[in-house]
Amino acid sequence: MASIQLGLIGLGKMGGNMRERLRKAGITVVGYDRDPTRSDVDSLVELVDRLESPRTVWVMVPAGEATHSVIDQLSALLKPGDIVVDGGNSRWTDDEKHAKLLHARGIGFVDAGVSGGVWGLQNGYALMVGGDKEHIQWLEPIFDALKPEGPYGFVHAGRVGAGHFAKMVHNGIEYAIMQAYAEGWELLEKVDFVDNVREVFRSWQDGTVIRSWLLDLAVNALDEDEHLEKLRGYAEDSGEGRWTVQAAIDNAVPMPAVAAALFARFSSRQEDSPQMKMVAALRNQFGGHAVELERPEAGKTAKTAEKAG
């Protein structure tokens, strides 16, 4: 049987690790990135030429214009029977447009919500996908290589758009959980009779109903900076929180926890927020997202993608 091949566009924090995990599983990956030090080829044309037909190309670039541009270029380069997978954090409303564009040329389209952050190489990636059943079946060896070992971590969520919609809701829930941990942490830090907040968090890691991977990552962050004094209380929102709240409004679904967590992110941009120190630390732990470090001696902050420790 011929080796399974995949073209992978976008070799950043997640894309680069996905290429490594796929190769370890025996899948031939031809990667392209605008950064030539990461790329296996010099252009999208060369990437397509290196793949045997029918081709599968997985796009891992930022949502919005970057994804639109890449899919538009692929629509002219690929042939009928090929498949494009959008594994970025695209808004689900864009998926139907991309599917329609590619379908007109006989090219399949699958949207894949991917979760796992910088830990995906080691632990595997949770995959939520949308598209036609025959396309999902064709891609199954790739999904199997990327997902965690065991029965969980993959779902064919529905038709085109369902994968990104499911990932959007996942991220909205993530907002709310992180916010709850952050609020609890701030209250514990505030009172003078709790002497060891870090160890309180650590004690919750086993035997409690609120134990989770995010809690484990919170403890990691506190081990690196016990009172999060090196961080500024500022946290970005990546877009999915806003989209989740908007979808809730459009469908008359009450989501007060997710909405409040989103608005708390906005409040972090008005002044230094203790809660947002924890949210920023958690985002850095699971996704390698940039954090802003306090630099009291200069009266300024510095942004870094490194784990603050």
CB 305 within 8 A of CB 266: no
What confidence category does residue 2 fall into, taking pLDDT thresholds of 50, 70 and 90? low
User: pLDDT tens digit string along 202-240?
Assistant: 999 999 999 999 999 999 999 999 999 998 888 888 788
Confidence (pTM)? 0.85
Q: What is the pLDDT of residue 304?
A: 54
| List of domains in the chain | 5-159 (3.40.50.720), 167-304 (1.10.1040.10)
Provide the angle, in degrees to the nearest 10, between the axes of the packed helices 92-103 and 162-190: 160
Q: What is the pLDDT of residue 280?
A: 87
Handedness of CA 253, 68, 125, 203 (dihedral sign): negative
Integer Rg of the chain from CA = 21
Q: What is the pLDDT of residue 307?
A: 45
CA 122 – CA 99 distance, rounded (Å): 32
Q: Which residue has the tokens 């009779």?
A: 193
Q: Which residue has the tokens 């991220």?
A: 171
Q: What is the pLDDT of residue 172?
A: 95
CA 52 – CA 191 distance, rounded (Å): 64
**Is 230 a residue of the active site?**
no
Q: Are strands 28-32 and 56-59 parallel, antiparallel or unpaired?
A: unpaired
Q: What is the pLDDT of residue 270?
A: 66
- In whole numbers, what is the pLDDT of the chain averaged over residues? 91
User: pLDDT tens digit string along 87-133?
Assistant: 999 999 999 999 999 999 999 999 999 998 888 999 999 999 999 99
Q: Of 136-145, 246-255, 295-304, which gets the smallest average pLDDT?
A: 295-304
Q: What is the DSSP letter of 179?
A: H
* pLDDT at residue 3 is higher than 80: no
Q: What is the pLDDT of residue 309?
A: 39
115 burial level (CB within 10 Å; 0-12, 13-18, 19+): buried
Q: What is the pLDDT of residue 298?
A: 46
CA 219 – CA 207 distance, rounded (Å): 16
Q: What is the pLDDT of residue 308?
A: 41
Q: For residue 113, give the nearest of 125, 129, 92 by alpha carbon.
A: 129
| Catalytic residue selected from 167, 240, 277, 294 | 167
Looking at the DSSP assignment, which residues form a beta bridge with residue 302?
A: 293
141 burial level (CB within 10 Å; 0-12, 13-18, 19+): middle
| Residue-wise DSSP of 53-110 | SSPEEEE-S-TTHHHHHHHHHHHHH--TT-EEEE-S---HHHHHHHHHHHHTTT-EEE
- For residue 162 the two structure tokens come to 């369902």
**Is 79 a residue of the active site?**
no
* pLDDT at residue 290 is higher than 70: yes
* pLDDT at residue 52 is higher than 90: yes
| Catalytic residue selected from 147, 174, 240, 294 | 174
CA 60 – CA 157 distance, rounded (Å): 19
* pLDDT at residue 271 is higher than 70: no
User: pLDDT tens digit string along 53-100?
Assistant: 999 999 999 999 999 999 999 999 999 999 999 999 999 999 999 999
